[in-house]
Amino acid sequence: MDQIILPEGYVPSDGEEFMNANQLEYFRKKLIDWKKDLLEDTNRTIEEMQNSSLQRPDVTDRASEETDRAIELRTRDRMRKLINKIDAAMRRIDEGEYGYCEVTGDPISLKRLEARPIATMSLAAQEQHERKEKTHKD
């Protein structure tokens, strides 16, 4: 695939063909940058955790640090799952499926993709899914 160079300041708009080459490249870059930021945060956290010591003499300090570590590990796990979703979105770009609702096949609005580039459902399908989930949960 040829490298597409986006015009400076390019932002997808409703006035152009949906999921044209520029839009796909725009969202690919957005996803790559997001993943890069998450990986940098993860590496920084790992370094900090390796450099910190749980050998605090005070039991309260040690407990507090262990709690902080547990919270940080949960956050990192959420980031790992998010990275998997980013990778899946990039696969959908490669396969020509990006930007289309996996339930209805309809286009996902550019506004929604801008806010959540890993979205797999249109807003209407997502709301219906959440209502159904809530009903089954109750």
- Model confidence over 95-118: pLDDT tens digits? 999 999 999 999 999 999 999 999
Tokens, residue 93: 């770009």
Average pLDDT, rounded, for the chain: 89
So what's the pLDDT on residue 117?
98
pLDDT in tens, 51-93: 665 566 777 877 787 887 788 888 888 999 999 999 999 999 9
Cβ distance 98 to 18 under 8 Å? no
CA distance readout (Å), 66 to 46, 48, 80, 135: 15, 13, 21, 37
Q: Which two tokens stand for residue 43?
A: 């590496």
Specify burial of residue 25 (Cβ count, 10 A radius: 0-12, 13-18, 19+): middle
The torsion defined by the Cα of 134, 76, 114 and 31, in degrees rounded to 10, comes to -130
pTM of the model: 0.81
What is the secondary structure of 6-19 as a DSSP string?
PPTT----TTS-TT
Predicted confidence at residue 55, as pLDDT, reads 64
Write down the pLDDT at residue 25: 97
